Structure 1
Amino acid sequence: MVKKEEFLKKIGEKREGHVTREVSRNDFPPNFVFGVATSAYQIEGAYNEGGRGPSIWDAFTHTEGKIIDGSNGDVAVDHYHRYMEDIDLIAKLGFQAYRFSISWSRIFPDGLGTKVNDEGIAFYNGLINALLERGIQPYVTLYHWDLPQHLHESMGGWLNKKIVEYFAIYAETCFASFGDRVKYWITNNEPLQTAVNGYDTGIYAPGRSENASTEPYLAAHHEILAHAAAVSIYRSKYKEKQGGQVGLVVDCEWAETNSDKIEDISAAARRLDFQIGWFLHPLFYGDYPEVMRERLGDQLPKFSEEEKMLLLNSLDFIGVNHYTTRFISHTTECTEENQFYKVQQMERIVEWEDGEAISEKAASEWLYIVPWGLHKTLTHISQKYKAPIYVTENGMDDEDNDDLPLHEKLDDKQRVRYFMGYIDAVAQAIKDGADVRGYFAWSLLDNFEWNQGYTKRFGLVYVDYKNGLTRHPKSSAYWFSRFLKSRECKKGKEDY
């Protein structure tokens, strides 16, 4: 197992998990982009307004027992009606970019692409125009998990190859409607989460777990093909005139080998291939990683030769969502419940050799604060997949706690430390040669946190759910504001 002091000394950390250098805006290239991120279902609300059709998350959250606090995104934080207020906050804090997602069922209520919902187009036009008027660059995600419910009910959603065609129609409609102003597009956010948690564990919409040995891989296969189809349309019909870029966002929990044993080193590499190689390998090499083919056999769908040609180099940048890190060791008796982990034959460990936790923990049981893991993630992706990188999500959560006075809820010292450490890790990765072009903090606002409902708060801005959804910037928001104005952040751990 890993010895803490030896390991931290080896990677150059002087104290566990936290920033070891003063970090400022000047540590980044002048054209480096800093932004904040959200997603449609988590913040918009207005679930039955403006011509929007239902999504799988509407159906899922209205099913008893699926969400820990019994809540849903019907209202969420009402961004649909309050986006001007939220854009003002982004501008005042000094962020240059805003990553948000479009709700597919707000553009095509049934998902089929037969009739465009003009009210949905108008809403996103208003949002995009308001951002540009404030000097904020829109980074638009086409799919952040909220599949139109009709597509799931009528044809099985991502399990049906026909979904590739419908996604391409939806993507082209967005390119045609918004691409004169939107220059950065993301086709799909964290397709792994859709595949595994939607079709293996069932803890995310559409909540399937009946065929965990095949459905996650089939859903992922179609997500990859949908991405490539959208990129092909953009490059052939829109890129020359609009001049934009299209990327894909993968999520990666860094996998650090738990020892120098060859089996543990192999297990850590295998873990990374099953996380990010699953989606990036086909786009760079034309097929899934060899280790996935070996372990999954016929469970893993095959690409035709024509599809492989469509896949190759079908992205302009890689988006990376990263939050935390695990030590990985090989095991033949995986204790994880879901099939996806079992086939990897690895154990995820959150302790050093002496039993001490890998670092301090945020509110979510899975989220340990390990900045060096982001440095390693960016370095690995930069070396294995040659493309510009954007950190499209990075952040931590607090537990929702009504017992605390407001001023204590807003004084999020731990989150400030988190961002100081992780942003420093990005700066060091760039210094070491990684082509990282931007960083987006998750999240602008406290919001609906999927199966956790409103029990977890990731926001830079506190949302008072019980008093009119009032917005209150936290200490972390003001830290970012100072940081983005190029003032050196000299305060260390002892000040926060």
Structure 2
Amino acid sequence: MLRLSLWVFLLLNLAATLFSSDIYSRDDFPPDFIFGSGTSAYQVEGAANEDGRTPSIWDTFTHAGIVPGNGDTACDEYHKYKESNHMLHYTIVIYHRHSKMSMEDGKDFTLYADACFREFGDRVLYWTTINEGNIFALAGYDTGMMPPLRCSPPFGFNCSKGNSSTEPYLAAHYILLAHASAAQLYKKKYQDKQHGFIGLNLYAFGMVPLTNTTEDVIATQRAKDFFIGWFMEPLLFGDYPNIMKKNAGSRIPAFTSDESKMVKGSFDFLGLNHYNTLNIKDNPSSLKMDHRDLAGDMAAELIFMQDDPSAFEFPSRPEGLQGVLEYFKQAYGNPPIYIHENGQRTQHNASLNDTRRVEYMKGFIGSLLDAVRNGSNARGYFTWSFLDVLELLDGYESSYGMYYVDLEDPDLKRYPKLSAHWYSDFLKGRSTHAHGMIEVEKNSSALSHAHFVQ
């Protein structure tokens, strides 16, 4: 019996080693699983005054000096697109928080989407209507951290106009209606002949109770309802979560019957952006305030899980991504999901030895693999970002890129970092090992034009 038990123990340990997310390769994912890396228009293109381009809300934002730098030149991708045009084979996001000023002032989003479908639909298979709809509503209309800089005291950041108590709810409502209208148009007019898919992107924090108390556990679910259910329940069921309607009252708009039917089921897939995990603490006192924003209605305190408060990088908590995917599986029927953004923040400098980024990517891709093995309907992963770009909150002070962009070089030359080699080797089928690295090719210049979309 002892010998049999020993053999069982050894076999279980062998299985754990063989199937551990510490040791994996591209071949462990389904053959049709998509990998890639992303950028966005304003953050890389430049050419701000060329070929009829008119100002966007981000031109206004950056030229006000709110972040260091602007996108007038950025990475000059407008002229250097041939170096990375392979990135366009799978996705174009219709709205990446980058609208023209005229559109922000009232131009019809559906007409804009129609033009995109008509002009590019023969080459684009996946359409994402809005990027980070939940963050756009919060940061643009509650805290005022991002364009169009609307907020009100005491909640925002020195905005000149806005109402933090009502406008986030209104913004989210019209984001949902705009998305649903564009999706309805695509499905009726284009999908049968273009054979593409349409979805919406949300930002998804990992959320964990600060303590095991009943109050913090309930507050964590409430936070999930306010951040994710805010969009997912209308998309699946045609209405907002009950807790949101209860706590926000008349400040949250109501869908008409026709609007509810249009929004419900208006997606083929979901895009998720995920970087880090929060602890959630119950905060019932906020509900006693006469004047509340969305955070007050949530009645929960959000605490960033940071091992070292002085660290510039995000703490690597890959289990948070697995938890997010498990939640979408259990709460929302396991819809098709593409991780559109996931990446590590570092300071922008000339060091190409970005081991922290490699460790981060290796951990999160391993966590993603665990989720897929556990039945998640995740179908793709895009690391943020392909190049060092103009970051929307940090300008050029921070970096997420696998390629360093030399901003002092008139030609803005790009250099592959260790993470570029790691990702390229991973996509070629080479296995990670227990210490988190792949033996990358010694000749770094050989990978300077590596293709990352497979």
Which range, TM-score by smaller chain?
A: 0.7 to 0.9
Q: Which amino acid aligns with 1:22?
A: I
Match of 1:174 among 101, 109, 116: 116
Q: Which amino acid aligns with 1:393?
A: E
Contact kept? 2:422, 2:438, Cα under 8 Å: no
Q: Which residue of 1 aligns with 2:49?
A: 48
Q: Distance in 1 between matches of 2:102 and 2:26?
A: 46
Map 1:384-399 onto structure 2 (within 5 A).
384-386=331-333, 387-399=335-347
Deviation at 1:261, TM superposition (A): 1.8
Closer, same or farther in 2 for the Cα pair 1:145/1:350, shift >3 Å?
closer
Deviation at 1:324, TM superposition (A): 0.3
RMSD, aligned α-carbons:
2.1
Q: Distance in 1 between matches of 2:299 and 2:239?
A: 22
Q: Distance in 2 between matches of 1:362 and 1:213?
A: 33
Q: Distance in 2 between matches of 1:362 and 1:414?
A: 12
Q: Which residue of 2 aligns with 1:339?
A: 293
Deviation at 1:151, TM superposition (A): 3.3
1:470 aligns with 2:413: yes
Map 1:177-216 onto structure 2 (within 5 A).
177-210=119-152, 211-216=163-168
Pair member with larger Rg: 2
Contact kept? 1:257, 1:328, Cα under 8 Å: yes
1:284-340, CA deviations, whole angstroms, 9 ceiling, x for partnerless residues?
Answer: 010111111111111111110000010111000011100000121202356xx9933
The normalised TM-score by structure 1 is 0.78
Q: Which runs of 5+ in 1 are unaligned?
A: 1-18, 91-97, 99-130, 132-136, 158-162, 352-356
Closer, same or farther in 2 for the Cα pair 1:494/1:184, shift >3 Å?
closer
SS at match of 2:37: strand
Deviation at 1:277, TM superposition (A): 1.1
Q: Which residue of 1 aligns with 2:326?
A: 379
Map 1:54-453 onto structure 2 (within 5 A).
54-64=55-65, 66-67=66-67, 69=68, 71-87=69-85, 98=87, 137-152=89-104, 155=105, 166-210=108-152, 211-333=163-285, 339-350=293-304, 357-358=306-307, 363=312, 367-386=314-333, 387-401=335-349, 406=350, 409-453=351-395
Q: Distance in 2 between matches of 1:413 and 1:83?
A: 27
Give aligned pairs, total.
404
The normalised TM-score by structure 2 is 0.85
Q: Distance in 2 between matches of 1:491 and 1:79?
A: 37
Q: Which residue of 2 aligns with 1:39?
A: 40
Q: Distance in 2 between matches of 1:426 and 1:338?
A: 37
Contact kept? 1:362, 1:398, Cα under 8 Å: no
1:22-81, CA deviations, whole angstroms, 9 ceiling, x for partnerless residues?
Answer: 1211220011000111111111111111211111111111114x11x2x11111111111
Closer, same or farther in 2 for the Cα pair 1:243/1:317, shift >3 Å?
same
1:254-286, CA deviations, whole angstroms, 9 ceiling, x for partnerless residues?
Answer: 111222222111111111111111111101010
Q: Which amino acid aligns with 1:43?
A: V
Deviation at 1:493, TM superposition (A): 4.6
Q: Distance in 1 between matches of 2:270 and 2:127?
A: 11
Closer, same or farther in 2 for the Cα pair 1:359/1:63, shift >3 Å?
closer
Contact kept? 1:201, 1:338, Cα under 8 Å: no
Contact kept? 2:386, 2:403, Cα under 8 Å: yes
Deviation at 1:235, TM superposition (A): 0.5
Closer, same or farther in 2 for the Cα pair 1:410/1:360, shift >3 Å?
farther
